[in-house]
């Protein structure tokens, strides 16, 4: 149980670091999310396009950098 708690604490720390990075570098995060989305969409031949698009939109919303 203690080992699981330690992993959870470490994961929470990583999540906080990611949030700080995204807040400080929203343009970089959006660019990477867009590139990753296009890459996965190409590899899956568009099979999961709506899910991928939704995930990219959530990143954009979270960084307040959604294009109009």
Range of the domain at 12: 2-62
Average pLDDT over residues 25-40: 94
- In a domain, residue 30? The reply is yes
- In a domain, residue 68? The reply is no
Identify which of 17, 14, 29, 20 has the alpha carbon closest to the alpha carbon of residue 59. 29
In the predicted model, is pLDDT for residue 59 greater than 70? yes
- In a domain, residue 67? The reply is no
- In a domain, residue 9? The reply is yes
Cα 14 from Cα 2, distance rounded (Å): 19
Cα 64 from Cα 43, distance rounded (Å): 28
In the predicted model, is pLDDT for residue 65 greater than 90? no
DSSP structure class, residue 23 = H
Q: For all residues of the chain together, what is the average pLDDT?
A: 88
Average pLDDT over residues 42-65: 91
This prediction has a pTM of: 0.69
- In a domain, residue 49? The reply is yes
pLDDT range class, residue 67, cuts 50, 70, 90: low
Number of domains observed in the structure of the chain: 1
């Amino acid at each position: 149980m203690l080992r699981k708690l330690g992993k959870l604490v470490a994961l929470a720390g990583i999540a906080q670091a990611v949030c700080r990075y995204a807040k400080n570098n929203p343009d970089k995060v959006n660019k990477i999310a867009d590139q990753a989305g296009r890459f996965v969409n190409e590899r899956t031949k568009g099979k999961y396009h709506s899910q991928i698009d939704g995930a990219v939109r959530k990143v954009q919303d979270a960084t307040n950098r959604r294009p109009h």
